[in-house]
Amino acid sequence: MMSQKTKQRFHYSQDQAIEKQFNWHQMLRLFGYMKPYKRSLLPKAIITMLISTAVRLIAPIFIGVLLFDHAIKEKNENLLIQLVIGIAGLYIISWIANTYRIKWTNQLGQYIIYDIRQGLFKHIQRLSHRFFDQRSAGSILVRIINDVNSLQELFTSGVINLLMDFILLVGIIGIMFVLSPQLTLAIMIILPLMFFISTKLRRNIRRSWQMVRIKQAKLNSHLNESIQGIRVTQSYTQEKENMDFFEGVNGETFESWRDATKKSAFFRPFVEMSNAIGTAILIWYGVYLIQNGMDYGVFVTFAFYLGMFWEPISRMGQVYNQLLVAMASSERIFEFLDEKPNVSERKDAISFGEIDGKIEFQDVEFSYDEKRKALNGVNLTIEAGETVALVGHTGSGKTTIANLISRFYDPTAGKVKIDGTDLRDVKLDSLRQKVSVVLQDTFIFSGTIMENIRFGRPDASDEEVIHAAEAVGAGGFIERLENRYETEVEERGNVLSVGERQLLSFARALLADPRILILDEATASIDTETEVKIQTALKTLLKGRTAIIIAHRLSTIRESDNIFVLDHGNLIEQGNHDSLMDQKGEYYDLIVSQFKMLDAM
């Protein structure tokens, strides 16, 4: 059983299904992904479908009317042999057409799924940081993997089958009316009831599949969080709590699937029941019509068509369930695709050429939400080639300034300029090619050390990669590895120490040869010995570059040309280390408190 705490944690993370009408405009938008294949795979699939459908419509006439009422009734052996050969030929043609139909529809479906997933991932890559601030990695993964996968059955078989079944159904009804209008009308009396009940089921089934997607997103989000935070979980012996919570999330996912499949599965037995009623009507009323002059061959043909009649209805019910699943998933996919970047490019945006690197903040205000401002009318100037430090307590606005320089966010008010140009007038790629950022929590990708350093500049030579690594002091530990620069690192670089990962991130940033370099607490995880090496390398590497250093360590910031002291989003002091110490203000207090902490250790 889950603890009360776990139940509360689970309770507060519930989502609600979206209550909307079936959106045919959205489904047409989804089917729009078939457009690139309208001259290749789609016509082939449709032609083979039409051939197999035509054979199915013609075959019962050969068997019923021609075979029974002519060949058998008239004892015409030649006609019997011809019909048998003809019927066999029809089914061979149908078999060949179905083989290629299945092949081409599966290819069509796989291409469409590829295009949707590729387009979704490409779009997400361009979204702003605020989008990722509001969503967990697990919920994003669900959209790209699970929700896209749920469309696979619809596109690999459902769309073409729906068209085939519709043509088949219309053809069957038309032929049945020609054969016997009275018997057709008697059998069709069950259709209004079928339509009424299926309409009632539609909303519940669709809502159930929406809930399945929501629960899957929660499950994936929790799995992603649990795996990444396993060390913290084990450190605080919270494995039981974590397992209880997972049990709740997993149980809810299981129940949502069971509920959705139960409602969806109800449709097929309902169709089979309708088939039984229709067959009973056929036998009862058909016998009456035979007694009043209907040919046996017509009755046999009618029986064939009646058996075929319920088959497309049953399959169309299954396709409708696929449409409901696709509707729930496409809503979530299009929600992401319709998401606009908070940081967008203007149509007339310019590209940076060579820049000096002068940075200006003019009356800049910024807020991550409406509750609290991260920056309050900040004015500062960083001259080209200058090394400055941003100092202040947690939440003072240091990282926000770094984010605005990289234009991960736009200011709520005011302007951020580089070389006198408002960053909102500059193309994002052009700007970020000039700026490199090294974070405290560095990210190392799966692959070799060489590939990780080269990430910021894929066209760099091996020699340039090695030079960058040696420049930041990473060459020593890399050379000691068995495969050196070709050493494979695991996801997030777990085979490396924290300090080694940080050194690689330095090498990656410096290889990109940025004009502006931002170090956001980048030396916080480096030991003292390694930091000495980095400080020596940085003196050479930062020469001529504009550098912004966010750090708490005195050794990291005291050599800066200028130091900006921030407090609750306000710039309260500015100057070099000596002048700020003479002022005995906020900066002085921060340094003194740091020394007191060191003395106490």
Burial of 472 (0-12, 13-18, 19+ CB in 10 A): buried
- Using only the alpha carbons of the chain, give its radius of gyration: 35
Q: What is the Cα–Cα distance from 502 to 485, expressed in whole angstroms?
A: 16
- Provide the 3-class DSSP secondary structure of residue 484: helix
Helix axis angle for 296-337 and 41-61, nearest 10°, is 160
Query: Comparing C-alpha atoms, which of 140, 150, 139, 120 is closest to residue 257?
Result: 150
> What does the block give as tokens for 404?
């605005």
Give Cβ neighbours of residue 258 (< 8 Å, ≥ 6 apart): none
The CB density around residue 395, as the number of other CB atoms within 10 Å, is 14
Per-residue burial over 351-360, b if 16 or more Cβ lie within 10 Å, else e, is ebeebebbbb
| H-assigned helices in 266-354 | 267-291, 296-337
Q: Are 423 and 375 in contact (CB under 8 A)?
A: no
What domains lie within the chain, and their CATH numbers? Answer: 32-337 (1.20.1560.10), 359-600 (3.40.50.300)
Q: What is the pLDDT of residue 7?
A: 43
The CA-atom distances, in angstroms, between 431 and each of 151, 407, 520, 573 are 38, 8, 18, 29
Closest CA to 549 of 526, 519, 522, 524: 519
**C-alpha span between 505 and 503 (Å, rounded):** 5
Pairing of strands 447-448, 413-418: unpaired
Angle subtended by helix axes 77-125 and 41-61, to nearest 10:
150
Rounded CA-CA distance 103/99 in Å is 6
The predicted pLDDT at position 2 comes to 44
**CB-based contact 471:541 (threshold 8 Å):** yes
* Cα–Cα distance, 50 to 55 (Å, whole number): 9
pLDDT mean values, one per 10 residues, the chain (601 residues): 44 43 73 85 88 87 72 73 84 90 87 87 79 71 78 78 85 85 79 67 71 77 73 70 81 85 73 72 76 75 78 72 75 81 80 86 85 84 88 84 87 89 87 81 77 83 85 80 81 69 81 84 63 67 81 72 88 87 83 62 47
**Continuous segment of H or E residues that includes residue 6:** helix 4-11
| Res 96: pLDDT | 93
How far out from the chain centre does Cα 212 lie? 16
Check if the beta carbon of residue 398 is closer than 8 Å to that of residue 445.
Answer: no
| pTM for the predicted model, two decimal places | 0.65
User: What pLDDT is recorded for position 529?
Assistant: 67
Strand partners for 413: 365
Q: How many CB atoms lie within 10 A of CB 555?
A: 12
Q: Which residues touch 14 (CB under 8 Å, ≥6 apart)?
A: none
* Cβ–Cβ < 8 Å for 342, 130: yes
In a 3-state reduction of DSSP, which class is residue 5? helix
Which is it for strands 516-520 and 435-439: parallel, antiparallel or unpaired?
parallel
**Contact in structure between 358 and 340 (CB atoms under 8 Å):** no
125 within 8 A of 279, measured Cβ to Cβ: no
Beta pairing class for 375-382 and 359-366: antiparallel
